[in-house]
Amino acid sequence: MEEQTKDLKDYLVALRRRKKQILTTMSILAVISVLVALLLPPVYRSSATILIEEQEIPAELVRSTITSYADQRLQVISQHVMTRANMMQIIEKYNLYPQQRQRETTEEILDRMRKDIKFNMLSADVIDKRSGQKTMAAIAFTLAYDGETAAGAQKVANELTTLYLNENLKSRQQKTSETSMFLSEEADRVSEHISEIETKLAVFKEKNQGRLPELTGLNMQMRDRTDSEVMEVDRQLNVLDERKIYLEGQLVQMKPNSPMMSASGERIFDSDERLKTLQAQYVSLSGIYSANHPDVIKMRREMQALKKETGGDGDMQEQAKQLTRMRSDLATMRDKYADDYPDVVKLKKAIAALEESHKKTVANGSDAPKFKQPENPAYISMQTQLEATLSEMKTLRTKRNDLKEKMASYVSRLEQAPQVEREYLDLGRDHENSIRRYQEIKAKLMEAEVAQQMEKDSKGERFSLIDPAQLPEKPTSPNRPAILLLGMILSLGGGIAYAGVLESMDSSIKSSKILAGLLDAPLLSVIPYMDNAEDRRKKTKLKTSLILGVIAGITLAVLLIHFLWVPIDVLWYMIMRKLEIWLG
């Protein structure tokens, strides 16, 4: 038995044979498609367009402290607006999703609302002012909300638009305020740091007075000047030392008390010399006369007067020498004469008197040498010059010591100058950097305050509502014509597919060609099917039912369209308007 191949005619015969099943399936699927297209709830979309305008004042004059791009700020603003609190407030305010709120959780309701909110960025090719390159930048954006009612969609869209506009103003003012506050705090901190450095500099200058770097040249000049002064003082000391030696030599050769002569050429003794002479004569007289002799008494009175005049009892050393000499003479005379010899007796009396006088001198403390004022004018003049020279030398030595101390101080300052300079330069550099930093911050603070005032006056970059949310005239979804068209196509395909399945499962013989193929023998004749009255009555009834079904379906579709989608007169007007547009 050969495999029978089917051609187009066989398929058409099969479709005609299964037309009842095809029509039934198509009718069922078509009715389902119509119901789906007409019974789906309408979704209304209300949208608003917001323009991103640049600041009115040129950026060269006033620079904004907000440097982020508009699309970045919009993402941040969206996160602030789409918070749980804001969404729940809008849902409760406009009573959104009443049925879903009864059976769904809050998170599911919020997810549903976020899906119903549509955010679309509008970008354009612009030149970036920072890099100077061509780039895409946001110039506007749209906000839309899909709601179950037109009025509800409009209200929610307006509410979202207000939130975006207010959040933009709030965020810009907050950022400019934060920038100004930060710069102000930074300026205060740097100012305190400058004050601390200035205090350290003052303490450092006071501690290292005279050793600062700017005084190095002055210290070197003062050192050299002091060195010259020391050399000059040394030279003067050498001159004065030579003069002192000369004066001392002259004084040694001169007598303080030069002898005075009378007009007759005789020498005039002074009080000391007169006292010494009288003391010698008194010794001689004491050996000759008794103590009560008038001459002895007269000489003793004269000696007492001279002692009061001179302030002493004579020269003790001279008395001691004279006493030694007289004792030596007594010893010599005793070798020659007896003790009662007159000269020996006389000498003993003189020695006794001199010993008594010497004892009185020792008892009165007259052993200390008496300073006697010189009387020689030349000696006095020379002595005065010597004293002046010594005084000047003493003054110069003191001055030299002071100069050496000053020079040592200058040398010490110069030796310590490098270390002091390093520390001083570090403090000075830190001070200069802090001053420069403070000036930069103050300049930025002034710019930030101007930018802040610009934002308060709404002169900076801002969002402008150019197209507010309107009341939607028709729903945006579902697309009922598309659903109907797709339903019709699926109905036709479903009917044909159902017929194909039935045909493939039917193993009966449906044509003479199939029978000839099965018998593998030619057929003698083919008797066609003859319709009787019953068959014709059934066909008529079937056609009538189909016509009535189509009329009823069309009527039902028109009613559903009129009540559930759009009124028929409006639909007719829309169709005619589009036809006029298409036909020109």
- Running along the chain, 584 residues long, what does each successive block of 10 average in pLDDT? 57 71 80 77 87 71 66 84 90 88 88 90 71 73 88 90 88 82 88 88 79 75 85 88 83 63 52 68 69 74 69 56 73 73 75 73 52 64 84 89 85 77 82 88 83 72 83 78 81 80 68 63 66 77 79 76 69 78 74
Pairing of strands 462-467, 44-53: antiparallel
Tokens standing for residue 481: 């014509």
Residues 292, 296, 301, CA angle at the centre, nearest 5°? 105
Count CA atoms within 13 Å of residue 275 on its CB side. 20
Query: CA-to-CA distance for 490 and 25, rounded, in angstroms?
Result: 10
| pTM given for the model | 0.52
Query: CA-to-CA distance for 354 and 369, rounded, in angstroms?
Result: 19
Count CA atoms within 13 Å of residue 226 on its CB side. 19
- Percent helix, strand, coil in the chain, to 5, is 70, 10, 20
User: What residues have CB less than 8 Å from 113, skipping those under 6 apart?
Assistant: 87, 90, 91, 96, 97
Q: What is the CA radius of gyration of the chain?
A: 72
DSSP code at position 211: -
Residues in the chain: 584
- Separate counts of helices (H) and strands (E) for the chain: 17, 6
Cα distances from 518 to residues 59, 367, 524, in angstroms, run 94, 188, 15
User: What residues have CB less than 8 Å from 52, skipping those under 6 apart?
Assistant: 70, 138, 139, 140, 141, 461, 463
Q: Which of 140, 137, 167, 182 is nearest to 48 (CA)?
A: 140
CATH fold group of domain 44-170+460-467: Bacterial polysaccharide co-polymerase-like (3.30.1890)
Helix or strand (DSSP H, E) at 444? helix 377-456
Q: Are 287 and 299 in contact (CB under 8 A)?
A: no
Q: Please report the sign of the dihedral spanned by the C-alpha atoms of residue 169, residue 175, residue 181, residue 183.
A: negative
Query: CA-to-CA distance for 490 and 496, rounded, in angstroms?
Result: 10
Query: CA-to-CA distance for 410 and 223, rounded, in angstroms?
Result: 6
Tell me which residue has tokens 């299964």: 18
Q: Which of 183, 150, 227 is nearest to 448 (CA)?
A: 183
Tell me the residue type at 382: M
Tell me which residue has tokens 């100012």: 191
Query: CA-to-CA distance for 297 and 291, rounded, in angstroms?
Result: 7
pLDDT given for residue 201 in this prediction: 83
Phi and psi at 465, nearest 5°, equal -80, 105
Query: CA-to-CA distance for 401 and 407, rounded, in angstroms?
Result: 10
Q: Which of 422, 449, 430, 415 is nearest to 180 (CA)?
A: 449
pLDDT given for residue 145 in this prediction: 92
Query: CA-to-CA distance for 436 and 434, rounded, in angstroms?
Result: 5
Q: Are 417 and 216 in contact (CB under 8 A)?
A: yes
pLDDT given for residue 218 in this prediction: 79
Question: How many Å separate Cα 64 from the centre of its chain?
Answer: 21
Query: CA-to-CA distance for 100 and 301, rounded, in angstroms?
Result: 156
SS3 (DSSP) at 132? coil
Query: CA-to-CA distance for 485 and 481, rounded, in angstroms?
Result: 6
Q: Are 25 and 491 in contact (CB under 8 A)?
A: yes
pLDDT given for residue 67 in this prediction: 61
Cα distances from 300 to residues 1, 69, 364, 414, in angstroms, run 204, 133, 17, 78
Query: CA-to-CA distance for 391 and 402, rounded, in angstroms?
Result: 17
Q: Are 105 and 131 in contact (CB under 8 A)?
A: no
Query: CA-to-CA distance for 542 and 531, rounded, in angstroms?
Result: 15
Tokens standing for residue 488: 């019709």
Tokens standing for residue 306: 């001279």
Domains in the chain: boundaries: 1-40+478-509, 44-170+460-467, 210-236+381-441, 266-377, 529-583
pLDDT given for residue 366 in this prediction: 44
Helix or strand (DSSP H, E) at 324? helix 316-336
User: What residues have CB less than 8 Å from 65, skipping those under 6 apart?
Assistant: 175, 176, 179, 180, 447, 448, 451, 452
Whether omega before 478 lies within 30 degrees of 0, making that bond cis, reads yes
- Beta-bridge partners for 122: 140
